Amino acid sequence: MKKEAPNNTTGVLPTDTTEDVRRRAVGRHPQVAVLPIGSFEQHGPCLPLATDTLVACAIARAVAARYPVHLLPPVTIACSHEHADWPGTVSISSVTLHAVVRDIAQSLRRSGVEALVLVNGHGGNYVLGNVVQESTAAEGPTMALFPAPEDWESARERAGVETSLLTDMHAGEIETSLLLHCHPEVVRGGYEATDFVADDRRHLLTTGMAAYTESGVIGRPSLASAEKGERILTALTDSFAAYFTLLNPSA
């Protein structure tokens, strides 16, 4: 029996062919594209370097499963300079990330997609906020940055995550829960014993993460569970409805 082609919401990379996109364009082309943006940086001894990319892709796939958006492959290396003291971390400059996103947006616009949502999985990608502001205030295309802190806070509360967003900064309860739900095979054993709290990080941009944590973890991964990860993902997908309506009011 011939195997059915995998759905483009089941893996890290979309598996659409150009004909799949062409068929969806008949009658009504998707007006909103979704671009996952992650990083390649240390996440302590138990989570992979690609954690932020896997998280961004999981959110984007869940969104694409519910809303008629054009799912794009992820940007996998971004601005991780605060993690440079750990082996394996790779960064690009904020100028480069800005240019990559702008080029992608312009390419989409040429194909008729006028709105782009940046699904950001790494808190250090500060420049993405500027990209969205500049594009929307100038000639376009219209952009949005998702999830916002308010979306994360709502998801945290709905999922029963005990750690605050301030404390749950890196490789903590939220990220570990999401990976336990979406990619349990990449979570190494022992995460239950790596909790570390450092709420006062006022000099982070100057000193980097190494000034605040030896292991690379800031948060309480011991409280993580696959069930919480599933609830977080559901809550974030619900939150996306407001973004979709804002960017595509005719839907």
pLDDT in tens, the chain (251 residues): 333 333 433 478 888 888 887 776 665 657 899 999 999 999 999 999 999 999 999 999 999 999 999 999 999 999 999 999 999 999 999 999 999 999 999 999 998 898 999 999 999 999 999 999 999 888 778 999 999 999 999 999 999 999 999 999 999 999 999 999 999 999 999 999 999 999 999 999 999 999 999 999 999 999 999 999 999 999 999 999 999 999 987 76
Amino acid in the structure at residue 55? V
Whether this prediction's pTM lies above 0.85 is answered by yes
Tell me: the pLDDT tens digits for 86-129?
A: 999 999 999 999 999 999 999 999 988 989 999 999 999 999 99
> Nearest Cα to 47, choosing from 59, 37, 36, 38?
38
| CA 182/CA 174 separation, integer angstroms | 12
Beta strands (DSSP E) in 58-124 are: 70-71, 115-120
Burial-class residue 188 by CB neighbours within 10 Å (0-12, 13-18, 19+).
exposed
To the question of domain 30-240 being in CATH 3.40.50.10310, the answer is: yes
- All structural domains of the chain with their residue ranges: 30-240
